Copies of this chain bind each other. A is one copy, B any other.
Amino acid sequence: MEFELKAVLKCSSSLSGAASPSEITEFVTYCNADLLKRGAPPGCGAEIAGWNVAEDKIELKIVSDRFVRAHDALLRLKKELGKLLGKHRIGIRGVEIEDYKIALDWEAEEGLKIRKLPFVREIKQEEGRLELLLDVDESMLDKRIPDRLIRLLEDKRDAVRWKGKSEHWELLFESEQRQFHFDKDPTEEMLKRGWLQHAAGRGQYVYGPQITKIFRAFEKILLDELCTPLGYKEMIFPKFVAWDVWKKSGHAKGIYPEAYYVCTPKTRDPEYWEDVMDYFKVTNEVPVDMIMGKIENVGGMCYAQCPPFWVFLQGKIMPDEILPIMVFDRSGTSHRYESGGLHGIERLDEFHRVEILWMGTKQQAIEHSKVLQEKYRHIFNDILDIAWREAWVTPWFMAQEGKAGLAEIKEAGTIDYEAVLPYSGKWLEFQNVSVNGDKYPKGFSVKLQSGEDLWSGCSGVGLERWAAVFLAQKGLDAENWPEKFRSVVGELPEVFRFL
């Protein structure tokens, strides 16, 4: 890594009268011998390779290796120089970055082209070397933009290397074979029977009384067999997610292609909106382009369900003795911009999920995950009577940031629950159980009194996914459903009839 930075320090008055040339020369010597070498191995660090004083300006050229990066050297130097000039009652008024070139050792990687980078004016890629010409000002150096750029490049290289590997998948458990009573796509069959209708939006349904009752039966089983006996308490998590939440949860790194974005009006003054209303009234069309100019993006619709919960605990310290804590939320919809084309209820843009969340010490969090797994096995084997399996996979909290592989912390990770759909022969992931390590408590600054790390886990129960699996294997006729499930769901209501 090589850094070459040209900067001009602008001072509050001319330097010719005040600071003598020898004083500046002395300062440069001191920098090159000591100040810009500190913390670096012998022979390494940054160096002032050229300098010039003209009126109230000091022009500098700093070169460096990776040990004291040139922008760090500049900030270090500026501070010391400020002290020196202060004695002459001269202040440093501003820093202009004329040029900043960073060169990295860079082997071309299959499938990776670096065409554009934020705050980079020019990118040159030659054999074994990548050269960036930055477009930055002092405040960007303060924010460590150059370091983050280098980190970004390394991430991009890692991502391409991961891409070669497939997502991690390792079988943990497989249930016995079960009797299937159906070989059709349950969504199509439900559409035929009027149990649901496609809604006006993409990947979205209006659910009629019958399938809603089945969803509520799943929810009751989950509550009676798992949440209540394990001491879970219900909470209500927000369903609009502000960017600040996704910044802390890590979703802001990679959620973009799949998010449902939420925008609010720039003002709620009706006059500001009059032209939009007029346009609609005159054309009967909604002028979405006009609207785009009058709204601003503030976040998105619920995607992963648990991140906005953490605001409840943000910045708080909890006594260890209240652990473990178990809460759940079932207060609204989740939304993902899924790939196009027709899917049934097994892949939706709008879906319904009960989110289960627990936290405790590392040991408690891992232990509790095992208790949950037991409960789920009981539900799937003894009540829903489905054919299913468990697999150890790339953690969802990594996948949603665009990472593959396994968690850095080995005990953290995600178990996917999959079931076969007889009509297609494909396996569908229908829920997960995930130990998320200290990721969320760290991201939202939640601490324990003891100083021990707080860990957490979560498990999302998608009602549509449970239904997709159960109905695909058992069909829509209640007489083929397991007795225990029938006693929970009861009679299916008949409300609508059409000609």
Is A247 engaged at the interface, CB distance under 8 Å to the other chain?
Answer: yes
A499 touches B319 (CB 8 A): yes
A309 touches B256 (CB 8 A): no
Is A75 engaged at the interface, CB distance under 8 Å to the other chain?
Answer: no
Which residues in window 318-342 of A have CB below 8 A to B? Answer: 318-319, 322, 325, 327, 331-333, 335, 337, 339
Q: Give chain B nearest CB distance to A93 CB in angstroms.
A: 25
Number of contacting residues on A, CB 8 A? 113
Is A278 engaged at the interface, CB distance under 8 Å to the other chain?
Answer: yes
Type the 1/0 row for A279-321, where 1 means its CB is closer than 8 Å to any CB of B. 1111110101001101111110100000011011110111100
The one of B118, B298, B301 that contacts A283, using a Cβ cutoff of 8 Å: B118
**Most chain B CB within a 10 A radius of its CB, from A236, A239, A272, A314:** A236
CB-defined contacts of A325 to chain B, threshold 8 Å = 495-496
B253 touches A280 (CB 8 A): yes
Is A52 engaged at the interface, CB distance under 8 Å to the other chain?
Answer: no
* A327/B197 contact (C-beta < 8 A), A206-B308, A295-B261 known: no
CB-defined contacts of A291 to chain B, threshold 8 Å = 256, 261, 297
Stretch at the interface among A13-21, A123-131, A209-217, A481-489: A209-217
CA of A309 to CA of B205 in the docked complex: distance in angstroms?
Answer: 10
A292: nearest residue on chain B (CB-CB)? B297
Is A27 engaged at the interface, CB distance under 8 Å to the other chain?
Answer: no
CB-defined contacts of A254 to chain B, threshold 8 Å = 277
CB-defined contacts of A295 to chain B, threshold 8 Å = 261, 297
CA of A238 to CA of B350 in the docked complex: distance in angstroms?
Answer: 8
B496 touches A148 (CB 8 A): no
CB-defined contacts of A258 to chain B, threshold 8 Å = 265, 268
- Give me 9 A-to-B residue pairs in the complex whose CB atoms sit less than 8 angstroms apart, sorted by A's number: A118-B282, A201-B298, A206-B308, A212-B234, A213-B234, A236-B352, A258-B268, A260-B264, A313-B496
Instruction: Report A's interface with B, CB cutoff 8 A.
Output: 116-119, 143, 145, 148-149, 151-152, 155, 197-202, 204-209, 212-213, 215-216, 233-247, 252-254, 256-265, 267-270, 272-284, 286, 288, 291-292, 294-299, 301, 308-309, 311-314, 316-319, 322, 325, 327, 331-333, 335, 337, 339, 349-350, 352, 402, 449, 493, 495-499
